[in-house]
Amino acid sequence: EAEVAQSPRYKITEKSQAVAFWCDPISGHATLYWYRQILGQGPELLVQFQDESVVDDSQLPKDRFSAERLKGVDSTLKIQPAELGDSAMYLCASRLRGGGNEQFFGPGTRLTVL
């Protein structure tokens, strides 16, 4: 069964360091989402791609966060510099173009900033 892949699964870093997360969506899924989920809360959308284009990054803290999906397939989310408040689960999800309402989520990357 096709799944969304993410790596690393866990990341511990010190504040002011740079971190990067990788996501490989289900093959053929044109839409890719990055969410941040703070413990005990619902996922919050950070950025959304349609193919290689950003279609919504209104909630992305652009002074420190960046995201790219250069070839419209896999994607990287970067934080530089990391802050204590960035500790959270970072989830990637994908959706088939015209494929209904279901988003398929990856296992996430648990980030701890010390």
Give the number of other CB atoms < 10 A from CB of residue 114. 10
User: How far apart, in whole angstroms, are the C-alpha atoms of residue 31 and residue 76?
Assistant: 14
Which residue in the set 23, 48, 77, 111 belongs to the binding site for other proteins (CB under 8 A)?
A: 48
Query: Rounded to an integer, what distance in angstroms lies between the CA atom of residue 83 and that of residue 104?
Result: 28
Q: Is 44 in the site for other proteins (CB under 8 A)?
A: yes
The stretch among 12-20, 37-45, 60-68, 69-77 that binds other proteins (CB under 8 A) is: 37-45
User: For residue 63, how far is the Cα from the chain centroid?
Assistant: 17
Within residues 75-114, the interface with other proteins by CB under 8 A covers 91, 93, 95, 97-98, 100-108
Number of residues that bind other proteins (CB under 8 A): 27
Considering the complex, what minimum distance in angstroms separates the CB of residue 64 from other proteins?
22
Burial class of 9 by CB neighbour count within 10 A (0 to 12, 13 to 18, 19+): exposed
Interface residues with other proteins (CB under 8 A) are 4, 31, 33, 40-45, 48, 50, 55-56, 91, 93, 95, 97-98, 100-108
